[in-house]
Amino acid sequence: MNATVSEQQLLADGLWIVKVKPDNGEIPQFVPGQYAELGFPQDFLDGDSNVPDEAKRKIVRRAYSIASAPNERDGLEFFIVKVDQGLLTPRLYNLKVGDRLWLGPKIKGKFTLEHIPEGQNLIMVSTGTGLAPYVSMLRQYGANPPWKRFVVIHGVRLAEDLGYREELERAAREDKRIVYIPTVSREPEDSAWQGLRGRVDKVLEPEAFLEVAGFELRPQDCHVFLCGNPDMITGVQKSLESRGFRKHSKRSPGNIHFERYW
């Protein structure tokens, strides 16, 4: 254990925002869009209070995208959903402020804006907690953005699952270059929700996107980022490629970027 939970915010059953502070107080340097690893020693998960052999000292870890900005030096923030049958998230979910956990010393990932030309329209598509890297990008670059427009499309099952909703709504009100488009797929019909319904792929259809975003989704001046459910990423990638978009790689630059966050 080398870090402590410094803040905890429950959003809905099994969905929360947590801030983690390393013992030495030094927040590792990172770029918005990258991820860190959280975990516990195997013996802790097993409930073994005795000093185990070396095989039991290994760290059980999982990668989580960072939602905080690099200039926030009071801890790393994460947006996490509990996987009931998972080995790690049920333990993370039960942590309270002051509880201990393991934080990986290195931050990794290439799901960033470093190689995106300035002045492009950025379409940031996410499901569930795949929203986290886009929050980090907005917090870091919002005051001096490298983009022409920054469109956040967030798909969830229920309206209560829309993490960072107030922050994103405020950002969109204050800066016309930011467009926030939440959509729900399983919200009861008789609820108070008055926004979009359906999956994120519907929002990306040409006519629908033009209506809600105010401009055309086209490969000439748009880069699309996809983060979340792998099935969503596969389906959206296929649809976009049929419209002239290309998957980005180091050897063959394109305008579709993705991170399978599952």
The model's pLDDT over 154-197, given as tens digits with 9 standing for 90+, comes to 999 999 999 999 999 999 999 999 999 999 999 999 999 999 99
Task: Domain ranges for the chain, please list them.
Answer: 3-103, 121-260
Residues 6+ apart with CB under 8 A from 20: 3, 4, 5, 6, 38, 75, 76, 77, 78, 101, 103
| β-bridge pairing 59-65 and 256-260 | unpaired
Q: Based on the number of CB atoms within 10 Å of its own CB, is 254 exposed (0-12), middle (13-18) or buried (19 or more)?
A: middle
> What is the arithmetic mean of pLDDT over 239-244?
96
Q: In what order do the strands lie in the sheet with 15-22?
A: 59-65, 35-41, 100-103, 3-12, 15-22, 76-81
- Which pair of tokens denotes residue 245? 């978009």
Phi, psi at 136, each rounded to 5°:
-60, -45
The string of pLDDT tens digits covering residues 74-118 is 899 999 999 988 889 999 999 999 999 999 999 999 999 998 999
d(C-alpha 67, C-alpha 1), whole Å: 22
> Is residue 57's pLDDT more than 80?
no
How sure is the predictor about 42, in pLDDT bands with cuts at 50, 70 and 90?
confident
Tokens 């770029």, located at residue: 31
Q: What was the pLDDT predicted at 163?
A: 96
Class of domain 3-103 as given by CATH: mainly beta
> Is residue 132's pLDDT more than 60?
yes
Q: How far is CA 217 from the centre of its chain?
A: 22
Q: DSSP assignment, residue 247?
A: B
Q: How many CA atoms lie within 13 A of 223 on its CB side?
A: 23
Class of domain 121-260 as given by CATH: alpha beta
- Which pair of tokens denotes residue 45? 């998960």
The string of pLDDT tens digits covering residues 88-100 is 999 999 999 999 9
Q: What was the pLDDT predicted at 55?
A: 54
pTM of the predicted model over 0.85: yes
